[in-house]
């Protein structure tokens, strides 16, 4: 990528989105600074609030968290944060940063334009998302994007990435078709040589190929994440998978024989699956026990289901925030929506089964499965950045305590990324990735949108137009 071209795009995008930072830090990395007189909330400390503290940042990391002092510090800048609440930056564990857009007729297009990707990354930062996991995009391109962000050539959240998603078919450029253990291992080797952070297997892969992917990836010290269906969660757990994407297995193996016979394999079949699955059955119990025992992490992505089950609801289809989604994505959302062909009675049936999905996530939570927060953005109606806050509220509504939801969005995600102590926490030596709020999220989890500022690697970013509106409501 041409650095001059990237710098020019940054200027154009910032002007277009009216995102000029405060004058005190405009155009500066602000890596040495003191966030002065805030209340620090580290979810890892079970919701304790350290009031009237200064967070000292040196060279992009947290140097100290100390009692507030009025005397100025030598060097760096001092940012008044009085009356605010500061948390670790949020981590979205399911973002496809180079997802191929669809045109207004729903047809898959080539990779997004560079300006589209830049705008998507900017949205994530604006909503306090300072780290993302990308579970599958074209290999060379996503590694290049991750490295450009790490080098400071592109502005965006930290990234941990997988390359092309291995599947029995390739419905888009994010996928690669594999049909044998040899092909699986060859693809793992290609992705390892490209320096991915993990590899991903998809719904169509049978157990022998999932086993091959796990064995070959682990030989290269790469974790494996699965969006599974042909292979059950129970089988994948026994094979040694490291993480699972999405909050339900959808495999007919968990249904009774009579329900299996009438299963509809379409997207609406997931509604049938929820209706028919017995969450107290021995097979579901075995599945949950295996996942918890083997410390397999799951990002439930409830927002990915909620936007489908309520895919005709103006709260999603006419949300004001859609105006900030890059045009290249939102143009294809109406026709490219996964439920665009559903009839009203299908939506009603889906909504009736929503409590069953909540019950499954609550079961995983209560049995000790390490849950994280992910969104599957920018698929239809899932607004980058905003959707993470919506996901946290859906998790709360499923029966998870607010402080544990905040843990999922910070500490748990860091554990799942093998970055514990480096991100997702407020402690000396951790990255200075922070979100500064005007209201206490422990009093109302919706306050996570009351964003005053975002700090990414010691650099202060301004709040977004939409976050400012949310703060003033």
Q: Where in the chain is the domain with CATH 3.20.20.140?
A: 90-416
H-helix or E-strand spanning residue 413: helix 411-416
pLDDT band (50, 70, 90) for residue 465: very low
Confidence at 25, pLDDT banded by 50, 70, 90:
very low
* CA neighbor of 395 nearest in space, from 412, 381, 383: 412
Average pLDDT over residues 199-225: 98
The pLDDT value recorded for residue 107 is 84
Band of residue 92 on the pLDDT scale cut at 50, 70, 90: very high
User: pLDDT at residue 440 above 70?
Assistant: yes
Give the pLDDT of residue 75. Answer: 65
205 DSSP assignment:
-
What is the distance between the alpha carbons of residues 392 and 414, in angstroms, rounded to a whole number?
A: 16
Answer yes or no: is pLDDT of 464 > 70. Answer: no
d(C-alpha 397, C-alpha 400), whole Å: 7
**DSSP codes joined into one string, 71-111:** SPPSSSEEEE-TT-EEEEPEEES-B-TTPPPB-TT-PBPSS
Question: What local confidence, expressed as pLDDT, does residue 50 receive?
Answer: 97
Angle at 329 between CA 327 and CA 331, to 5 degrees: 65
CA distance 90 to 105: 34
Note the pLDDT of residue 261.
Answer: 86
| Residue-level pLDDT at 110 | 83
Residues recorded for the chain: 473
Minimum mean pLDDT range among 11-15, 113-117, 180-184, 312-316: 11-15
Sign of CA dihedral 64, 67, 73, 79: positive
Name residue 88's beta-bridge partners: 434
Q: Is pLDDT above 70 for 453?
A: yes
Architecture of domain 18-89+425-471: Roll (2.30)
* Domain 90-416 annotated CATH 3.20.20.140: yes
| pLDDT bracket for residue 426 (50, 70, 90) | very high
* pLDDT exceeds cutoff 50 at 2: no
Question: What pLDDT digit, counting tens, does each position of 275-306 carry?
Answer: 999 999 999 999 999 999 999 999 999 999 99
Q: Is the pLDDT of residue 109 over 90?
A: no
Write phi, then psi, for 430 (nearest 5 degrees): -80, 160
The CATH 2.30.40.10 portion of the chain extends over 18-89+425-471
Is the model more confident about 210 or about 20?
210
Question: What would the pLDDT profile of 383-414 be if each residue is shown by its tens digit?
Answer: 999 999 999 999 999 999 999 999 999 999 99
Tens digit of each residue's pLDDT (9 = 90 or more) over 162-180: 999 999 999 889 999 999 9
Q: Whole-model pTM?
A: 0.91
Give dist(CA 208, CA 197) in Å, integer: 23
In 3D space, the residue among 451, 433, 431 whose CA is nearest the CA of residue 441 turns out to be: 451
Measure Cα distances from 279 to 359, 360, 400 in Å. Answer: 8, 7, 18
Mean pLDDT across the chain: 90
Summarize pLDDT for 122-149 with one digit per residue, the tens: 999 999 999 999 999 999 999 999 999 9
């Amino acid at each position: 990528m041409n650095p001059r071209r990237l710098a020019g795009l940054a200027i154009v995008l910032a002007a277009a989105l009216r995102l000029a930072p405060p004058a005190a830090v405009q155009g500066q990395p602000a890596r040495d600074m003191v966030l002065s007189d805030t209340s620090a909330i580290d979810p890892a400390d079970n919701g304790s609030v350290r009031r009237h503290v200064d967070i000292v940042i040196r060279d992009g990391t947290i140097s100290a968290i100390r009692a507030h002092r009025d005397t100025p510090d030598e060097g760096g800048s001092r940012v008044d944060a009085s009356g605010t609440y500061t948390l670790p930056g949020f981590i979205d564990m399911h973002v496809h940063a180079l997802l191929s857009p669809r045109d207004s007729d729903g047809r898959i297009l080539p990779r997004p334009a560079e300006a589209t990707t830049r705008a998507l990354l900017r949205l994530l930062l604006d909503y306090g998302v300072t780290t993302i996991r990308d579970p599958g995009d074209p290999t060379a391109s996503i590694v290049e994007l991750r490295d450009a962000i790490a080098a400071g050539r592109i502005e965006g959240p930290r990234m941990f990435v997988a390359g092309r998603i291995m599947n029995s078919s390739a419905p888009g450029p994010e996928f690669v078709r594999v049909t044998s253990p040899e092909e699986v291992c060859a693809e793992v080797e290609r992705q390892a040589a490209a320096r991915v952070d993990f590899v991903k297997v998809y719904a169509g892969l049978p157990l022998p190929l999932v086993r091959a992917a796990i064995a070959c990836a682990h030989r290269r010290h790469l974790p494996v994440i699965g969006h599974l269906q042909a292979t059950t969660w129970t089988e994948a757990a026994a094979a040694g998978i490291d993480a699972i994407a999405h909050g339900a297995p959808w495999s007919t193996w968990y249904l009774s024989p009579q329900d299996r016979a009438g299963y509809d394999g379409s997207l609406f079949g997931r509604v049938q699956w929820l209706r028919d699955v017995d969450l107290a059955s021995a097979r579901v119990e075995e599945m949950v026990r295996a996942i918890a025992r083997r410390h397999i992490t799951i990002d439930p992505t409830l927002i990915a289901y909620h936007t489908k089950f309520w895919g005709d609801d103006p709260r999603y289809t006419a949300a004001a925030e859609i105006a900030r989604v890059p045009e290249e994505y939102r143009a294809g959302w109406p026709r490219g929506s996964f439920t665009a062909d559903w009839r009203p009675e299908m939506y009603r049936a889906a909504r009736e089964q929503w409590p069953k999905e909540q019950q499954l996530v609550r079961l995983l939570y209560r049995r000790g499965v390490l849950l994280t927060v992910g969104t599957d953005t920018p698929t239809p109606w899932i607004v980058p950045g905003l959707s993470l806050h919506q996901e946290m509220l859906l998790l709360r509504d499923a029966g998870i305590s607010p402080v544990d939801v905040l843990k999922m969005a910070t500490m748990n995600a860091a554990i799942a990324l093998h970055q514990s102590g480096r991100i997702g926490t407020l402690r000396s030596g951790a990255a200075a990735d922070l979100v500064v709020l005007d209201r206490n999220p422990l009093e109302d989890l919706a306050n996570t949108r009351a964003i005053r500022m975002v700090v990414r690697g010691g650099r202060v970013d301004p709040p977004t137009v939409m976050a400012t509106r949310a703060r003033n409501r």
